[in-house]
Amino acid sequence: MPDIKLTAQQLAFFETFGYLSLPGLLADSIDSITAAFEEIWARQGGGHHGKPHDGKARSCVVPFLDQHERLCALLDDPRIHGLLTSLVGDDFNYMGSDGNYYVGDTGWHSDGWHPRHRHVKIALYLDPLTRDTGCLRVIPGSHVEGDKYATALQKNMGQLGLPGNQIPCMPLETKPGDIAVFNHNTKHAAFGGSQRRRMFTINCCERYPEQDLQVLRDYISGFARFWVDTPYSETMLRTAGPARMRHLEQVLANDDHLPALTKAAREKMAEPSRG
Ligand SMILES: O=C(O)CCC(=O)C(=O)O
């Protein structure tokens, strides 16, 4: 099936506001996606790094998609592939994913800050969520580098005297099968969630030009805190056809420094990062 691309209106919305909601995009496959999600946790002892999920701290598995052949195949799905090629180009890079049982609130933040290269995150929440029960909230327009609004927001966020759940924003209320996608720069948060809020992400970015490869390598260094020696699993690579490989090759060509960083992280940290 050919890719399902975003429309010009959807692209304009994403450029302007830094996010997009796609209600029901994966509604027909959400039951098998959720079953794969739970299989992964069951295989890993139920929670973070082999421990049961105790509802006190976020449990996190990285890279998540990579743990199940059915989830790896989401990268080939014409709806997800079309969304990603529309936003980050035909030769985009898959930049890993995290699977989570979130606990409670997530404060306002951007996922790093990428001034020159577009990074996007697809978020799939596996339970119905509303504004006050942990749905993703975004601040529209907060992704724009150099924009006066983004700069003021960055500077003033901590001085507004407002609790996080009172900051003006757009709550992306969600049902299983809905998709949210946002620019990593976009400020986002969630409030009022349960002790076992199920969610996983797919991170991707535009292909880096040769002269900026060090920036890509620095991003890959960030995987060390999750104690992974390679950014992609054996399952992800074994089940990849040529079309998927195109989205893996630039990271694979720039990950040789990761094992040493991961070795150092294992020595320093009591457990892999929870996010
Ligand atoms: O759902 C949440 O609690 C926040 C998600 C988030 O911050 C992220 O995926 O970057």
Is the pLDDT score of 149 beyond 90? no
Q: Computed from CA positions of residues 80, 206, 170, 123, in that sequence, does the dihedral angle turn out positive or negative?
A: positive
What pairing do the DSSP bridges indicate for beta strands 93-94 and 197-205? antiparallel
Within a domain: residue 237?
Answer: no
Q: What percent of the chain has pLDDT over 90?
A: 93
Do residues 260 and 268 make contact, with C-beta atoms less than 8 angstroms apart? no
pLDDT tens digits, one per residue of 36-61? 999 999 999 999 999 999 999 999 99
Q: What is the pLDDT of residue 147?
A: 74
pTM check: above 0.95? yes
Is the pLDDT score of 150 beyond 80? no
CATH number of the domain encompassing residue 172: 2.60.120.620
Mean pLDDT of the chain: 96
Site residues for ligand 1, CB cut-off 6 Å: 102, 106, 111, 121, 123, 136, 188, 190, 199, 201
* 1 CA from centroid of ligand 1 (Å): 31
User: Can you tell me the mean pLDDT for 5-17?
Assistant: 98
Beta strands in 157-229 (DSSP E): 170-172, 179-183, 188-190, 197-205
Do residues 69 and 21 make contact, with C-beta atoms less than 8 angstroms apart? no
Within a domain: residue 216?
Answer: no
Within a domain: residue 40?
Answer: yes
Tally of domains in the chain: 1
Q: What percent of the chain has pLDDT over 70?
A: 100
Within a domain: residue 228?
Answer: no
* 89 CA from centroid of ligand 1 (Å): 24
Token pair 């989830």 is at which residue? 71
Going by pLDDT thresholds of 50, 70 and 90, the confidence category of residue 233 is very high
For residue 247 the two structure tokens come to 């989205």
Ligand 1: nearest atom to the Cα of 109 = 7
Within a domain: residue 158?
Answer: yes
